[in-house]
Structure formats: C-alpha cells, structure tokens
Amino acid sequence: MRFLLRRLGFYLIAFWACITLNFFLPRLMPGDPVSRMFAQVQNQMRPDQIAALRQLFGLTNKPLWQQYLDYIGNIFRGDMGISLSRFPTPVSSVISSEIGWTLLLGATSLIIAVVLGNLLGILAAWRRGKFLDSVFPPLLVFVGSFPYFWLAMAALYLFGIVLGWFPLNHAFTDGVEPSFSFSYVADVANHLVLPALTIVLVSIGGWMLGMRNTMIATTAEDYITMARAKGLRSGRIMFHYAARNAMLPSITSFGMSLGFVVGGALLTETVFAYPGIGYQLLNSVQGLDYPLTQGIFLTITTAVLAANFLVDIIYVRLDPRVRVS
C-alpha cells in the first residue's frame, strides 16, 4: 500500500510538471505566435473567443501567477481551449469525439497481441526447439519486418477488395445511426477486424519473443527444478511457477504500450480511413493548431501516467516482493 501511495505521489508530480510545461511553452515562444496562429481564423471569431484564446496563451495583462491558476482551473474543468483548425469546436470535444475509436482500436489490438503473443511465447519456451518454437518466432519476425503501410495495404487489398470479407474503410457503415443494437455493434466489429488484425500482426512477434526469452531464463531457475522434483504436473509448473515469474517484465511493457494507445495509430487510421487521435494530431501539427496539439499531448501524458499506475497496481498483486521494497 505504501508503495502504491508513493507511486501515486510520483505520478501526480509528473502530471503537474507536464501541465506546467504546457502552460509555459507558448509563453516562451518569441514574438506573438498567437496572432500568427489566429490570422487564419480571426475574422470568424467572436471577440470573446479571441479573448479566451489570448488568455490561454498568456497575452493578457493579468499577472503570471493569476494566469497560471486560471489555466490549471480550466484544465480541471476539461477546458483546453478552442481548436483553430476545426474552429470553433472546443479542443475537448475534438478529442472526445475521436478518442473512443482510438481506444477501441488500440486497446483491442494491444490486448489481443499481448495475450496471444505471451501465450505463444510461454508455449514455445516450454517446448523449446519443437514445432511452435522453430516455426513461429521467425515467421512473426518476418511478418513484423514488413513496412506496416505495405502490410496494411496488402490486407486491405486481399480481404477487402479481392475477397470482400471486410469493409474497406471507416469505423461503421455510413448513415448508420450509432446505437446499442446488435446490428450496430456487429457493424463496428466488422469494420474493426482489418485495422486491428494488421496491428496485431506486426506487434505480436515482439511480445512472443520477449516472453519466450524471459520464460527460457526462468525455466533455469532453481524453483522450477524443485517444482519438477515435487512431481507437479507440467501445466502447473508452466503457468504457476514459470509463467507467473516470466510475465513480470511483460506487464511493464504492456503498461507503456497501453498508455501510448491514446496517441492513436496514425498509419492505420490513414490506410483504413479510420477515425482516431493519430490523424487529429497530424492535422493539428500541420495546421499550427496549437491548442489541439497541446490538448492531445496532455491527454497522452495523462493516459501514460494512468496506465503506469494501473500497471503498478497489477504488479503489486503479482509480485509480492515489491510490496516491501
């Protein structure tokens, strides 16, 4: 428990540092970047909106500490300003309209890759040198070494165009009203298959190899020998003794990846015209949409920190040794 509180404290400090940086960066920019940014949308803006943006970028006459407090207050109210490229939509609604798709795609493919990859790694290490171990790692590394773009196009061509099994683009069929009906969920799932599949294909090899190698190192441990000497069944030794220990490093990488899911999958979104944060981020950078860029970065940071905290909680459950240290 004390371990978790310490970690939480650390993450809160990191979060604060990140917001503070976000606050100061535009104020450190030379000249009046805001005017330049506003130029393209100035004539569409109402004066009060301009005032709000100026405030966001520190171009008011208020003292710095006052601006800082206002800024933090806004952040906690979820107010990250107004997007310039999609004026006058607030940044928070741009993000929230896209983040669901990003989470759906990212989390689905990450979880499938992690679970399947680790399982394959465990089995390959347990039957070292046998079929699974000699065929899968090189195959998956081979697939993983393709440029993602190429692989995604190939999948799209084969399964979308030639075989026609899956839709070519978007997250659901145009014109369908989002609802909690079976047909809508099935439609979304159907649109999800190809994008998720391609992500799984390129990432699963890494998970499998990582797990296989730690697992092999673990099977040389004395407690595995003792477990064998105890006459336990192979499955119990494999999962309860070997895999439970070998899994620990994987959990850490999982946490990292989980956090970065929020950043979106730009290439996937591009190839499959799938909605998501990645594309928004690209747009915002190209369109000098600072409020949106900052908002997205802030969201990613928050997600990374939160995911790491989640991993800490899982880790404490899995490895009793961290509870004392």
Q: Which is nearer to other proteins, 204 or 238 (CB)?
A: 238
Phi, psi of 311 (to 5 degrees): -65, -40
Q: Which is nearer to other proteins, 181 or 225 (CB)?
A: 225
Q: Which is nearer to other proteins, 242 or 261 (CB)?
A: 242
| Cα pseudo-dihedral 207, 210, 216, 222, rounded to 10 | -110
Residue 140 one-letter amino acid: L
CB of residue 8 vs other proteins: minimum separation in angstroms? Answer: 23
CB of residue 226 vs other proteins: minimum separation in angstroms? Answer: 4
DSSP class of residue 43 equals: G
Q: What stretches of the chain show up as alpha helix (H) in DSSP?
A: 2-28, 33-39, 47-56, 64-76, 91-126, 131-144, 148-155, 182-219, 222-229, 234-236, 244-261, 266-271, 277-286, 290-318, 321-324
Spatial distance between the Cα atoms of 304 and 182, rounded to a whole number of angstroms: 33
Q: Which is nearer to other proteins, 198 or 250 (CB)?
A: 250
Q: Which is nearer to other proteins, 198 or 245 (CB)?
A: 245
Phi, psi of 165 (to 5 degrees): -75, -35
Q: Which is nearer to other proteins, 62 or 228 (CB)?
A: 228
CB of residue 252 vs other proteins: minimum separation in angstroms? Answer: 15
CB of residue 207 vs other proteins: minimum separation in angstroms? Answer: 20
CB of residue 62 vs other proteins: minimum separation in angstroms? Answer: 55
Name all contacts of 26-31 with Cβ < 8 Å and 24+ positions apart. Answer: 26/57, 26/58, 26/290, 26/294, 27/57, 27/58
- Identify the bridge partners of residue 90 per DSSP, sorted by sequence position: 82
Q: Which pair of structure tokens corresponds to residue 236?
A: 């119990």
- Identify the bridge partners of residue 82 per DSSP, sorted by sequence position: 90
The residue written with tokens 């100026």 in the block is: 54
Spatial distance between the Cα atoms of 248 and 89, rounded to a whole number of angstroms: 43
CB of residue 244 vs other proteins: minimum separation in angstroms? Answer: 5
CB of residue 1 vs other proteins: minimum separation in angstroms? Answer: 16
- Using CA atoms, how far residue 92 sits from 96, 176, 296, in Å, is 6, 25, 9
For other proteins, the binding residues (CB under 8 A) are: 221-223, 225-233, 236, 240-241, 244-245, 318-321, 324
CB of residue 299 vs other proteins: minimum separation in angstroms? Answer: 34
DSSP class of residue 288 equals: T
Spatial distance between the Cα atoms of 143 and 139, rounded to a whole number of angstroms: 6
Q: Which is nearer to other proteins, 62 or 230 (CB)?
A: 230
Q: Which is nearer to other proteins, 163 or 324 (CB)?
A: 324
CB of residue 248 vs other proteins: minimum separation in angstroms? Answer: 8
Sign of the CA dihedral running 244, 249, 254, 256:
positive
Radius of gyration for the alpha carbons in the chain, expressed in angstroms and rounded:
24
Q: Which is nearer to other proteins, 62 or 317 (CB)?
A: 317
